[in-house]
Chains A and B, each alone.
Chain A
Amino acid sequence: MWAYIVRRVLATIPVMAVVALFVFSLLYLAPGDPAAVIAGDQATPDDVERIRASLGLDRPYLVRFGAWVWDILHGDLGTSIFTNLPVSHMIAQRIEPTLSLMVVTLILAVSIAVPMGVVAAWKQGTSIDRAVMAFAVLGFSVPVFVVGYLLAFVFALELDWLPVQGYTPFREGFIPWMENLILPAVALGGVYIALIARITRATMLEVLSQDYIRTARAKGAGQRSILFLHALKNAAVPIVTIIGIGIALLIGGAVVTESVFAIPGLGRLTVDAILRRDYPVIQGVVLLFSFVYVLVNLLIDLLYTLFDPRIRY
């Protein structure tokens, strides 16, 4: 097992190298010029040229790529072209809100979606099943920002129960932290709940038709025991897989959710950096996201062994 983990962690290195090359090349080829953005609307072409030279953007592709890789190998993600702050510092400032949003969304989604899927499978063909599936279709169909605006309108503007926007760090108290995260987590969690609930239902239906479930029933096992001990554990592998894949959805959705609810997270940092062509920040954040995604996949692979002892690495 440990040898497998080490092998997988080492395997992230070439993956990250490919991501680095891809991201850098893409940004190099993409239109847009941070020097022109910095110089402002009133700048002359000469101003733009001077700023471009001062930022080193006039250097050849290979020289810039080599310098960037060299810095990364020395643990330096570079410095933002605009703010003059280290990229690692900017990421550190933004990581807590995004992590908080994703964790709360994940907990909320799993704790709602899995029971929903289980109940829908158990009550297959009934109005409960149809209601769950209707919710799932709705969750997939309504964009995150629409749900976000509706929630903000009802719960913040009309009822005044929760704040419209912003983020309070966890160190300032659990309740204020949670107050700022409830609406974004619900908005972001909708599509995730729909996805997990559907997969849970489909997998449970398959498992519930297996011989060993019939045997358990014949032996007099209770409904709860059948559903959650016998069936759900055996249905867990595809559910865990979809939760892992869904984390990519969360990362994408966080960009929109953070904008709607003005949460100062990595999603907004990425969008802001892209719009300004702040290359070092874009490169740093994308590298981080891809690294996290590789690690999540590793974690999912390891979780398989918990749910299915037949799986060995």
Chain B
Amino acid sequence: MKRRDLIATAATAALAGPALAQPAQHRVLKFVPQANLTSLDPIWTTANITRNHGHMIYDSLYGMDAEFRAQPQMAAGHVVDQDGKRVTITLRDGLKFHDGEPVRAQDVVPSIQRWMRRNPFGQQLAAATDAVEVVDDKRLVFRLKKPFPLLFAALAQVSNSPAFIMPERLARTDPFQQVREAIGSGPFRFKADEYNSGSRVVYTRNPDYVPVATGTPSLTAGPKVAHFDRVEWHIIVDAATSAAALQTGEIDWYEQPPPEIQMLLRRNRNVKLEAIDPLPLTGILRFNHLHPPFDNKRLRQAMLPAINQADFMSAVVGTNAADYRTGVGFFTPGTPLASDAAMAPLTGPRSVDRARALMREAGYTNQPMRLIGPTDILAPSAMTQVGADLVRRLGFNADILLTDWGTTVQRRTSREPVERGGWSMLFTAFSSFDFANPAAHFPLRGNGTNAWFGWPTIPRLEELRDAWFDAPDLATEQRLAREMQVVAMDELPYIPVGAYMSTTALRSNLNGRVGGLALFWGIQRS
């Protein structure tokens, strides 16, 4: 027993007489999330913290397992007929929203429709769909223009606004407005009366939740069994304070300790560190394709010999090679679509001199370029520092503009040239889910001014992406992904600068955590 607890117990005993033990505290999990939960609507924003909140309180028709296979979750099953152009999904029994209302197809259809307006995978599905309709309370039907083999994968998407199911009255909210309530049918209920943004978010176990009867918990698939009656998210912005609170047992789980704090925590036998996701996040160097100097493909290619992925990754997670991956291409390492196609320019001998020579051959004549980046977000900040050093060593006429994240994300929306406040280069990172396939892979788009910031125009990438959505099997998907990587290594919408593991820290007596992201079913205190 800790000294403070001992003193408090003694004082209580002296004042109040005998008292029963308090097992309730063992049924509370205290967690420090990666960021503050500001928005409660996971369709309205793609913020990861809101996604994690979504997985607490909402459920989806299909879950995704760790092998990236869609598995029925709210769905009892489905029937595909009319040559793949009609898909009927049946809801399983016992589904109930937190307000006590049963989950009906009338709730599911507007939820899917709202999601399809915001999520790129959903938009692709919408383009292939004539209608999504209610058959009866338990069944809904997708009437497709053409077969859409990735329909279930789309509905099982884990990140970037998953297809969460909300009550009809909320699901009918304009997708560009936030829902006013947080009511789902998932394993936890949101305690609106205890919500204090920037301080505390509280969830209680949903006693009405009926987990999937079979299978094992795997990412968002399988039975979601909540072992804690109450989960409290404590928003602690200071890393040292979070670490101290974890060591004293004031909190149980610290989602994203920075590397220097991890070193400290490894020395505490009451704390364990593990990869939150068995798959790594990928860092990228993004070019602005609209303006000089990086509208010049040969100049983008000239940088390749100078990119040492280990340099970038060790700046993010430290020098332990087990914590990062090199030789990283355009799809998340360890996922089915990852390959080594056309990777030689990034895996051969590294040479800044060679890069300088290629820059001269590409016609670089000291045009100004601007690197923008944040100072307050760990991975992009570290990669930007390495990138800033690199562009100086390469001899670019570089303006390095480091600001807070809020300013960086505004500046990157500018399509103006450098002279009028625009940018040329930035660094950021994406989760394993984002780069697992072309559906959510924004930086791999080549659709010009509609593409992600940087706006590359690469029609061949778009053709291959469209073909991927129609791929009938994994072998075809893999072939198309390899082709996409070959095109990307030539056109360079961005340069992958490595991949790194995200480490989480939790009390040693917690077991059963489901890997992938901060999920709260399965985990229990021993």
| Interface residue A31 (Cβ < 8 Å from any Cβ of B) | yes
Q: How far is the CB of A171 from chain B (nearest CB, A)?
A: 14
Q: How far is the CB of A37 from chain B (nearest CB, A)?
A: 6
Q: Say yes or no: B199 contacts A264, CB within 8 Å.
A: yes
Bound together, the chains give a CA A84 to CA B46 distance in angstroms of 16
| Interface residue A287 (Cβ < 8 Å from any Cβ of B) | no
| Interface residue A119 (Cβ < 8 Å from any Cβ of B) | no
Contacts of A82 in B (CB 8 A): 38-39, 197
**Of residues 81 to 103 in A, which have CB atoms within 8 Å of B's CB atoms?**
82-85, 90, 93-94
Of all chain A residues, which has the CB nearest B421?
A31
Contacts of B47 in A (CB 8 A): 38, 40
Contact of A40 among B45, B407, B412, B413 (CB under 8 A): B45
Q: Say yes or no: A164 contacts B244, CB within 8 Å.
A: yes
**Of residues 200 to 233 in A, which have CB atoms within 8 Å of B's CB atoms?**
none
Q: Say yes or no: B4 contacts A36, CB within 8 Å.
A: no
Contacts of B196 in A (CB 8 A): 93-94, 264
Contact of A163 among B250, B411, B415, B428 (CB under 8 A): B250
| Interface residue B434 (Cβ < 8 Å from any Cβ of A) | yes
Bound together, the chains give a CA A164 to CA B248 distance in angstroms of 8
Known: A32-B407, A83-B197, A160-B3. A45 touches B244 (CB 8 A): no
Contacts of B2 in A (CB 8 A): 160
Bound together, the chains give a CA A159 to CA B3 distance in angstroms of 8
Known: A43-B46, A160-B2. A152 touches B244 (CB 8 A): yes
Q: Say yes or no: B406 contacts A37, CB within 8 Å.
A: yes
Query: 1/0 contact trace for B387-414 toward A, CB 8 Å?
Result: 0000000000000000111110111110
| Interface residue B449 (Cβ < 8 Å from any Cβ of A) | yes
Contacts of B250 in A (CB 8 A): 163-166
Query: 1/0 contact trace for A27-63 toward B, CB 8 Å?
Result: 0000111101111111111111011001000000000
Contact of A85 among B118, B197, B430 (CB under 8 A): B197
Q: Say yes or no: A261 contacts B241, CB within 8 Å.
A: yes
Q: Which label, helix, strand, loop or mixed, suits the secondary structure of the B interface?
A: loop
| Interface residue A108 (Cβ < 8 Å from any Cβ of B) | no
Q: How far is the CB of A222 from chain B (nearest CB, A)?
A: 41
Bound together, the chains give a CA A82 to CA B176 distance in angstroms of 13
Q: Say yes or no: B410 contacts A262, CB within 8 Å.
A: no
| Interface residue A64 (Cβ < 8 Å from any Cβ of B) | no
- The segment out of A13-21, A66-74, A269-277, A293-301 that lies at the interface is A269-277
Task: Tally chain A residues at the interface, Cβ within 8 Å.
Answer: 54
| Interface residue A156 (Cβ < 8 Å from any Cβ of B) | yes
**Of residues 1 to 25 in B, which have CB atoms within 8 Å of A's CB atoms?**
2-4
Q: Say yes or no: B176 contacts A50, CB within 8 Å.
A: yes
| Interface residue A234 (Cβ < 8 Å from any Cβ of B) | no
Task: Tally chain B residues at the interface, Cβ within 8 Å.
Answer: 59
Q: How far is the CB of B396 from chain A (nearest CB, A)?
A: 23
Bound together, the chains give a CA A41 to CA B3 distance in angstroms of 45
| Interface residue B247 (Cβ < 8 Å from any Cβ of A) | yes
Q: How far is the CB of B96 from chain A (nearest CB, A)?
A: 25
Bound together, the chains give a CA A260 to CA B46 distance in angstroms of 28
Bound together, the chains give a CA A275 to CA B404 distance in angstroms of 7
Bound together, the chains give a CA A194 to CA B403 distance in angstroms of 34
Q: Say yes or no: A165 contacts B449, CB within 8 Å.
A: no
| Interface residue A198 (Cβ < 8 Å from any Cβ of B) | no
Of all chain B residues, which has the CB nearest A265?
B199
Q: Say yes or no: B411 contacts A37, CB within 8 Å.
A: no
Q: Say yes or no: A160 contacts B237, CB within 8 Å.
A: no
| Interface residue B423 (Cβ < 8 Å from any Cβ of A) | no
Q: Say yes or no: A260 contacts B39, CB within 8 Å.
A: no
Q: Say yes or no: B409 contacts A36, CB within 8 Å.
A: yes
Q: How far is the CB of A150 from chain B (nearest CB, A)?
A: 11
Of all chain A residues, which has the CB nearest B4?
A160
Query: 1/0 contact trace for B223-254 toward A, CB 8 Å?
Result: 00000000000111110111011011010000
Contact of A42 among B160, B247, B404, B406 (CB under 8 A): B160
| Interface residue A241 (Cβ < 8 Å from any Cβ of B) | no
Q: How far is the CB of A161 from chain B (nearest CB, A)?
A: 6
Of all chain B residues, which has the CB nearest A161?
B4
Contacts of A242 in B (CB 8 A): none
Known: A260-B241, A262-B234, A268-B198. A41 touches B410 (CB 8 A): no
| Interface residue A157 (Cβ < 8 Å from any Cβ of B) | yes
Q: Say yes or no: A31 contacts B410, CB within 8 Å.
A: yes
- The segment out of B310-318, B348-356, B450-458 that lies at the interface is B450-458
Bound together, the chains give a CA A269 to CA B244 distance in angstroms of 22
Q: Say yes or no: A83 contacts B403, CB within 8 Å.
A: no
Contacts of A94 in B (CB 8 A): 196, 198-199
Q: Say yes or no: B46 contacts A149, CB within 8 Å.
A: no
| Interface residue B177 (Cβ < 8 Å from any Cβ of A) | yes
Bound together, the chains give a CA A287 to CA B376 distance in angstroms of 27
| Interface residue A162 (Cβ < 8 Å from any Cβ of B) | yes
| Interface residue A12 (Cβ < 8 Å from any Cβ of B) | no
Known: A46-B450, A157-B247, A160-B3. A36 touches B413 (CB 8 A): yes
Of all chain A residues, which has the CB nearest B415?
A45
A54, A262, A268, A277 — which one has the most chain B CB atoms within 10 A of its CB?
A262
Contact of A33 among B236, B245, B409 (CB under 8 A): B409
Of all chain B residues, which has the CB nearest A47?
B118
Q: Say yes or no: B244 contacts A156, CB within 8 Å.
A: yes
**Of residues 247 to 267 in A, which have CB atoms within 8 Å of B's CB atoms?**
259-262, 264
Q: Say yes or no: A54 contacts B176, CB within 8 Å.
A: yes
Known: A160-B2, A275-B376. A262 touches B236 (CB 8 A): yes
| Interface residue B200 (Cβ < 8 Å from any Cβ of A) | yes
Bound together, the chains give a CA A262 to CA B176 distance in angstroms of 33
Known: A45-B453, A46-B450. A276 touches B46 (CB 8 A): no
Q: Please provide the 4 A-B residue pairs with the shortest distance between their CB atoms, ordered closest to farther.
A: A264-B199, A40-B46, A33-B410, A82-B38
Residue pairs across A and B with Cβ atoms less than 8 A apart, 16 shown, are: A33-B410, A36-B410, A36-B413, A41-B409, A42-B160, A42-B440, A44-B442, A45-B413, A94-B199, A165-B245, A260-B238, A260-B240, A261-B241, A262-B235, A262-B238, A262-B245
Residues of B within 8 A of A (CB): 2-4, 36, 38-40, 44-47, 118, 160, 174, 176-178, 180, 196-200, 234-238, 240-242, 244-245, 247-248, 250, 376, 403-407, 409-413, 415, 428, 430, 434, 440, 442, 449-453, 455
